[in-house]
A and B are shown apart, each in its own frame.
Chain A
Amino acid sequence: MLAWRNLWRHGRRTWLTVGAMIFCNALLVFLISFQLGSYSMMIDGNLGVLTGHLQVQHKDYNDESRMRFSVPGGVELAQELRDHTGIEAMAARGLTFALASSEERSFGIQIMGVQPTFEPLVSTLPGLVKEGRYLKDNAAEEIVIGSVLARNLKIGLGDELTFLGSGRDASFAAGIATVVGILNSGMSEMDRTIAQIPLGYFQDVFTMDASVHAVVVNTDELDAVAPVKAQIQSELENVDLRVLDWNELQPGLKQAIQADMFSAFVMYAILIILVAFSVLNTQLMSVLERTREFGVMMALGLHPGGLARLVLLETAVMSLIGLVLGCALGAIITGYFQSNGLYISGMEEAMDRYNLPGRLYPQLSALSLLAGPAIVFIGGMLAAIYPSLRLYTLQPVTAMRAV
């Protein structure tokens, strides 16, 4: 009660401090949401190219990608999984090393057998075909190649490409396909080595029978990865198969994000320290200038402990207001950008090259909403300790004489 009235006696000062807290909290909510949102985007962007969020593979395939470590009945399995999980974005793939040859030279390439209808749902590559078209028919002897490979082989749309490699039974495998599309991903490694042919054709040339090397799954959100993984794992009856998540498929990605988080934490820490300092400042001043008042109260019998509690209570009330209003403000701002996207100049073209959306969408979540403000609250309370401790050193008589 007393605490409340005390606060409002120095309304302006109280508001300034609370204002600082609100600002800081709102900022933290927005920034953390933004950070998490951009991480999602980074991860999705990276995985969306080729890896996908999950893959079903032969249990040894991720370690050693040998042709014979295959997933039997892959196309059927993919359809079953689609039906049972309701996720359309699943595609079966075959993958092997092969040689593409021109007159004098051979170039090592990665040939992927893909399902033309489903592959565009799990990978951005089909959308990066800049000349010609993507694959359509599952059995057609057609091929889509990277722009650098086309350059190296000196071929273009409509030309024939000869490729040879080893089948699943290690036998000699070879084929001639017509180039129907040339893709430009902007990543030279990929444009130099990737070639895609329809899965049916792949299985035929490389003696795969009905098997594939992976079923790639794209979940809509990162949060969905763990539950979907568990679901698929329970559906798999074959003990030789495994579901791997993107962490296992691309080990470096998570760490790159962790590094970024580190620098962000440093910044948050500094922000919070500044705000805590502000609180310390305010409360200290408030204590100092109410020295006389406190002196009177102590003379009237109030224990230093009671005074300390008073100060702490005041701080708590201020911090709480700061927390609530800050969270609210932060949520509103973040919500706005979450629907409309944040636009930083230059990003649009940079992203476009990789077939990624050009805007950043912060993501509000329980974590991003509460984490920052909670720590500010704690920091504020901690900061109030020193001023309240000083109360114990007050001598009622000297205090009452203070100005």
Chain B
Amino acid sequence: MADHPSLSIGILITLAWRNLWRNYRRTLIMLAAIVVGVWAMILFSAMMRGMLDEMVHAGLRVLPGEAQIHHPQYRDDPSIANSLDAPQGELLQALNTPPITAWTSRVKVPGMISSERDNRGVLLLGVDPAGEIALGFQRENIVEGRFLESSEDKGIVIGRKLAERLETQLGKRVVIMSQSPDNEVVDKGVRIVGIYKARLQATEEFFVYVGRSHLQKMLLVGDQVSEIAMTADNYQDVDKWWPDIAAVAGAQTSTEPWMKLDGYLNSMLEVQGNMNIVIMVVIFMALSFGLVNTLVMAVFERIREIGLMMALGMQPLWILYQVLLESLMLLALGLVVGNLLAAITILPLESGIDISIVGEGLEMAGMGSMLYPTLAWQDMLMSTAVVLVLGLLASLFPAWRASRYNPTEALGKI
């Protein structure tokens, strides 16, 4: 280097840049390859992220909530005997403070529903409709009539399939029956004020909604509830706050986060997460093949040019640096464009792609009919880092080979 003080980095950079654009068609093609690769990776991770999120959210809507409090024996034996007092004092305060964004309490006990022609075992849900909606009950699921209006509502909302089985309709009266904590049979006539649809028919046949106060009165339990459900709208951070709630709720209760309440969902999340990593690796590898391919070709086809430069006195090491620099510029450019392209295409789609065309099978599997790709800067960063590293590695071999050329040989090649 000391021999050629005039060859500074600056000049190398200029040279590299000009080299790139001398054969703009070739450069553009390579650029396109990189852009497409980067865009594909980011798009894929956005879609996967969206799908996972949707899956978890759908599951949390059903629980509902990210954490729940029960009587310690309730989960083994979900009867009215294992009830909790309505939240008060410290617990009430904790529930109304961030990070918790919404909570509700419900009575949830097995019972029977009868019409003139049939009777079936169901799960009676005594709810506060505002709370349910805050935790995920979707009003659009009501296909006839309305949802409950308050926790004092005297009506009942049942699933479409259940109405069919019972041979009853909106507006008619049905009788719900269950047991009080003293084991007395208690029952009540209620009018159907709404009919809902759900993903699975089994759900429609099993869950019925009545006003919480109304059910509490029927069951003679005063103020007590079966379950307190809450959410902080961020399913990945639940471990940060649920122990605090558990502490405040006291030793006579049992608080659990959704990961424990729906072990299946949790393990699905983990498995999918791991699969996604595998898939990303695979895509990177495919991309790197293409990348190596194009870079190698680019170098080899400029053999004559490189030979010329060497004949004119360029040191092999500088050749190496130059090739690498060209690669770097190309990669950088490709990455910038790729990231931008990804952002431009994904952000508008974040409001949801309607995938119901793909089949109602998806809806049944808990994916809903909308896909919400989610752009996350972590994904972009990772793609960028990987492409950069891979790209430079890929250029290393050809660059090194380039620097090893014998000028005369190189010049002679075509």
Residues of chain A touching chain B, judged by Cβ–Cβ distance below 8 Å, are: 12-13, 16-17, 19-20, 23-24, 27, 31, 97, 104-105, 107-108, 148, 151-152, 188, 192, 251-252, 254-260, 262-263, 266-267, 270-271, 273-275, 277-278, 281-282, 284-285, 288-289, 344, 346, 350
Contacts A259-B367, A273-B36, A278-B33; A266 near B289 (Cβ below 8 A): no
Q: Do A259 and B297 touch across chains, with their CB atoms under 8 A apart?
A: no
Is there a chain A Cβ closer than 8 Å to B139's Cβ? Answer: no
Q: How far is the CA of A19 from the CA of B20 in the complex (A)?
A: 26
A-B contact pairs, 11 of them (CB 8 A): A16-B292, A31-B282, A104-B183, A151-B76, A262-B358, A262-B367, A273-B36, A281-B29, A281-B33, A285-B26, A285-B297
Residues of B within 8 A of A23 (CB): 285-286, 289
Contacts A262-B362, A277-B33; A188 near B279 (Cβ below 8 A): no
Is there a chain A Cβ closer than 8 Å to B294's Cβ? Answer: yes
Q: Do B286 and A252 touch across chains, with their CB atoms under 8 A apart?
A: no
A250 to chain B, nearest CB (A): 10
Q: Do A152 and B48 touch across chains, with their CB atoms under 8 A apart?
A: no
Q: Do A105 and B79 touch across chains, with their CB atoms under 8 A apart?
A: yes
Q: Do B365 and A258 touch across chains, with their CB atoms under 8 A apart?
A: yes
Size category, B interface: 35 or more
Partner of B51, one of A13, A263, A270, A344: A263
Q: Do A277 and B301 touch across chains, with their CB atoms under 8 A apart?
A: no
Q: How far is the CA of A62 from the CA of B200 in the complex (A)?
A: 16
Q: How far is the CA of A12 from the CA of B33 in the complex (A)?
A: 19
Contacts A24-B286, A27-B282, A192-B76; A16 near B297 (Cβ below 8 A): yes
Residues of A within 8 A of B110 (CB): 108
Q: Do A274 and B267 touch across chains, with their CB atoms under 8 A apart?
A: no
Q: How far is the CA of A286 from the CA of B77 in the complex (A)?
A: 73
Q: Do B44 and A16 touch across chains, with their CB atoms under 8 A apart?
A: no
Q: Which 7 residue pairs across A and B have the least CB separation, nearest first?
A: A259-B365, A255-B364, A258-B361, A255-B361, A278-B290, A20-B289, A256-B365
Q: How far is the CA of A277 from the CA of B287 in the complex (A)?
A: 10
Residue of A nearest to B286 (CB): A274
Residue of A nearest to B297 (CB): A13
Which B243-284 residues have C-beta < 8 A from chain A?
A: 267, 270, 274, 279, 282-283
Q: How far is the CA of A285 from the CA of B30 in the complex (A)?
A: 10
Q: How far is the CA of A17 from the CA of B291 in the complex (A)?
A: 11
B180 to chain A, nearest CB (A): 13
Q: Do A12 and B358 touch across chains, with their CB atoms under 8 A apart?
A: no
Q: Do B77 and A284 touch across chains, with their CB atoms under 8 A apart?
A: no
Q: How far is the CA of A285 from the CA of B32 in the complex (A)?
A: 13
Residue of B nearest to A254 (CB): B361
Residue of A nearest to B287 (CB): A274
Q: Do B290 and A277 touch across chains, with their CB atoms under 8 A apart?
A: yes
Residues of chain B touching chain A, judged by Cβ–Cβ distance below 8 Å, are: 25-26, 29-30, 32-33, 36-37, 40, 43-44, 47-48, 51, 75-77, 79, 81, 110, 121, 183, 200-201, 267, 270, 274, 279, 282-283, 285-287, 289-290, 292-294, 296-297, 300-301, 355, 358-367
Residues of B within 8 A of A12 (CB): 296, 300
Contacts A256-B365, A273-B40; A105 near B293 (Cβ below 8 A): no
Q: Do A267 and B362 touch across chains, with their CB atoms under 8 A apart?
A: no
Q: Do A152 and B33 touch across chains, with their CB atoms under 8 A apart?
A: no
Residues of A within 8 A of B290 (CB): 20, 274-275, 277-278, 281
Residue of A nearest to B304 (CB): A403
Q: How far is the CA of A274 from the CA of B359 in the complex (A)?
A: 27
Q: Do B44 and A266 touch across chains, with their CB atoms under 8 A apart?
A: yes
Q: Do B286 and A108 touch across chains, with their CB atoms under 8 A apart?
A: no
Residues of B within 8 A of A277 (CB): 32-33, 36-37, 290
Residue of B nearest to A271 (CB): B286
Q: How far is the CA of A289 from the CA of B302 in the complex (A)?
A: 11
Contacts A108-B110, A252-B365, A258-B361; A270 near B289 (Cβ below 8 A): no
Q: How far is the CA of A285 from the CA of B33 in the complex (A)?
A: 12
Q: How far is the CA of A278 from the CA of B26 in the complex (A)?
A: 13
Q: How far is the CA of A289 from the CA of B360 in the complex (A)?
A: 50
Q: How far is the CA of A125 from the CA of B200 in the complex (A)?
A: 25
Residues of A within 8 A of B293 (CB): 13, 16-17, 19-20, 278, 281-282
Residue of B nearest to A22 (CB): B289
Q: How far is the CA of A251 from the CA of B289 in the complex (A)?
A: 42
Residue of A nearest to B55 (CB): A259
Partner of B283, one of A251, A252, A257, A267: A267
Residue of A nearest to B76 (CB): A148
Partner of A288, one of B25, B183, B279: B25
Contacts A152-B76, A271-B282, A275-B286; A258 near B359 (Cβ below 8 A): yes
B135 to chain A, nearest CB (A): 22
Partner of B301, one of A105, A285, A350: A285
Residues of A within 8 A of B285 (CB): 23, 27
B285 to chain A, nearest CB (A): 7
Residues of A within 8 A of B366 (CB): 256, 259
Q: Do B44 and A19 touch across chains, with their CB atoms under 8 A apart?
A: no
Q: Do A188 and B75 touch across chains, with their CB atoms under 8 A apart?
A: yes
A253 to chain B, nearest CB (A): 9
Residue of A nearest to B48 (CB): A263
A186 to chain B, nearest CB (A): 9
Q: Do B362 and A259 touch across chains, with their CB atoms under 8 A apart?
A: yes
Q: How far is the CA of A97 from the CA of B296 in the complex (A)?
A: 71
Residues of B within 8 A of A281 (CB): 29-30, 32-33, 290, 293-294
Q: Considering residues A27, A255, A256, A273, which has the most beta carbons from chain B within 10 angstroms of its beta carbon?
A: A255
Residue of B nearest to A274 (CB): B286
Q: Do A16 and B296 touch across chains, with their CB atoms under 8 A apart?
A: yes
Residues of B within 8 A of A282 (CB): 293, 297
Q: How far is the CA of A63 from the CA of B391 in the complex (A)?
A: 60
Q: Do A152 and B77 touch across chains, with their CB atoms under 8 A apart?
A: yes
Residue of B nearest to A263 (CB): B51
Q: Do A19 and B29 touch across chains, with their CB atoms under 8 A apart?
A: no
Residues of B within 8 A of A107 (CB): 77
A87 to chain B, nearest CB (A): 29
Q: How far is the CA of A259 from the CA of B290 in the complex (A)?
A: 30
Residues of B within 8 A of A251 (CB): 201, 364
Q: Do A255 and B29 touch across chains, with their CB atoms under 8 A apart?
A: no
B378 to chain A, nearest CB (A): 19
Q: How far is the CA of A273 from the CA of B43 in the complex (A)?
A: 13
Q: How far is the CA of A104 from the CA of B274 in the complex (A)?
A: 48
Q: How far is the CA of A281 from the CA of B28 in the complex (A)?
A: 10
Residue of A nearest to B201 (CB): A251
Q: How far is the CA of A251 from the CA of B183 in the complex (A)?
A: 37
Given contacts A255-B364, A277-B32, A284-B29, 7 further A-B contacts (CB under 8 A): A13-B297, A24-B286, A252-B365, A259-B362, A274-B40, A274-B287, A285-B294
